[in-house]
Amino acid sequence: MDRSSYKLYHKDDELHDSRAMLETYCSENPDTPFIHSIKLIMEKMHNAFSIGHITGKLLIDVSGGPLIHHLYSACEFFKEIILMRTNEQCIMEIRKWQNDCTGAFSWGHMTAHVTDLEGRSDESEVKEMKLKSTISQVIKFDPETESLTDQIGVPQADCVITMWLLDVICKDQDDYMRNLRKILKFLKPGGYLFLLGVDNGSYYTVGGQRFHIFTCDEHFVRNALVAEGLTILQCEVAPKKSKSDLTDYDGGLFIIACKPK
């Protein structure tokens, strides 16, 4: 398929069915092709936070989609989490889950996974309530805005997580650098950045529509962070294990970096 026909996550958001995304990539159905990748992210987040030195008052999550599974471990180490999303549909999905609305997507299988990792398998409901109560705001933002900090008006955070957003809103390398700088403005000096992305992807599929992924690799992302003055503490690429034509990336990128004081 001609790549020019791929949709853009933040510009064609009326075609990006957030519930279809959850059912396709995060369902508890054991045949869900990427469930291993989703759980691997949770394991990496658990391992990173369980060390205990990444902690603080505020965490800001600037990510793509109605996804919250990567925050289950983080909620134990921060007093407040603010979510920022570009898509009104995905904000509605998150709020339905947070408010226990009828028909909300169930993350119970993911809650069970993280409580197993923590050795507290009988506390899934407690964990679910903990994350819901720690999320103080779900804010919509426009990535086309020159300064996200001026638009949103939130304080700088001790930790920023960005997962799969730069992959889907950036068209080229210059665009990636511009958007990375916007996100880094939310991070305090001395704070920690978690960047989760995909290695060498070009598209992913939601509701039968193919959406654009900016094609880049570990080398490019590492250099982008270093160019912005960050110190990389951890960088891994986990090869994709699932075979599916839903997306074509080679592996999952997981980076932890620190902003200089």
Phi/psi for 105 (5° steps) reads -65, 135
The per-residue DSSP string of the chain comes to --GGG-B-TTTSGGG--HHHHHHHHS-S-TT-TTHHHHHHHHHHHHHHHHTS-S-EEEEEEE-SSS--GGGTTGGGTEEEEEEEES-HHHHHHHHHHHTT-TTPPP-HHHHHHHHHHTT-TT-HHHHHHHHHHHEEEEEE--TTSS-HHHHH-PPPEEEEEEESHHHHH--SHHHHHHHHHHHHTTEEEEEEEEEEEEES--EEEETTEEEE-----HHHHHHHHHHTTPEEEEEEEEEP----TTB---EEEEEEEE---
Q: Of 25-39, 57-71, 119-133, 224-238, which range is least confident? A: 25-39
Token pair for 139: 């804010």
The residue whose two tokens read 């962070």 is: 225
pLDDT of residue 3: 74
The architecture CATH gives domain 3-258: 3-Layer(aba) Sandwich (3.40)
Residue (of 195, 183, 205, 194) closest to 249 by Cα position: 205
Residue (of 236, 259, 88, 67) closest to 157 by Cα position: 259
Round to whole Å and give the CA distance between 14 and 88: 9
Q: Of 89-103, 116-130, 150-164, which range is least confident? A: 150-164
**Binning pLDDT at 50, 70 and 90, where does residue 197 land?**
very high
Q: Of 48-62, 88-102, 170-184, 236-250, which range is least confident? A: 236-250
pLDDT tops 80 at residue 162: yes
**Binning pLDDT at 50, 70 and 90, where does residue 150 land?**
low
Round to whole Å and give the CA distance between 35 and 224: 29
**Do residues 140 and 10 make contact, with C-beta atoms less than 8 angstroms apart?**
no
Phi/psi for 185 (5° steps) reads -65, -20
Token pair for 256: 């932890």
**Do residues 211 and 205 make contact, with C-beta atoms less than 8 angstroms apart?**
yes
**Do residues 86 and 169 make contact, with C-beta atoms less than 8 angstroms apart?**
yes
pLDDT of residue 50: 94
- Percent of the chain exceeding pLDDT 70 equals 97
Q: Of 14-18, 73-77, 137-141, which range is least confident? A: 14-18
**CA-based Rg of the chain, rounded to a whole angstrom?**
17
Q: How far apart are the first and last CA of the chain?
A: 46
Phi/psi for 49 (5° steps) reads -80, -30
pLDDT of residue 143: 85
Write the pLDDT tens digit of every residue in 5-38: 899 888 887 888 999 999 999 998 878 888 889 9
pLDDT tops 60 at residue 1: no
pLDDT tops 80 at residue 152: no
pTM of whole model > 0.85?
yes
**Binning pLDDT at 50, 70 and 90, where does residue 151 land?**
low
Write the pLDDT tens digit of every residue in 173-193: 999 999 999 999 999 999 999
pLDDT tops 80 at residue 146: no
Q: Of 87-91, 148-152, 212-216, which range is least confident? A: 148-152
**Binning pLDDT at 50, 70 and 90, where does residue 149 land?**
low
pLDDT tops 80 at residue 147: no
Round to whole Å and give the CA distance between 203 and 201: 6
Phi/psi for 194 (5° steps) reads -105, 120
Rounded to an integer, the average pLDDT of 104-110 is 95
pLDDT tops 70 at residue 60: yes
Beta strand 187-199 pairing with 251-258: antiparallel
Question: Would you kindly state where each structural domain of the chain is located, as residue ranges?
Answer: 3-258
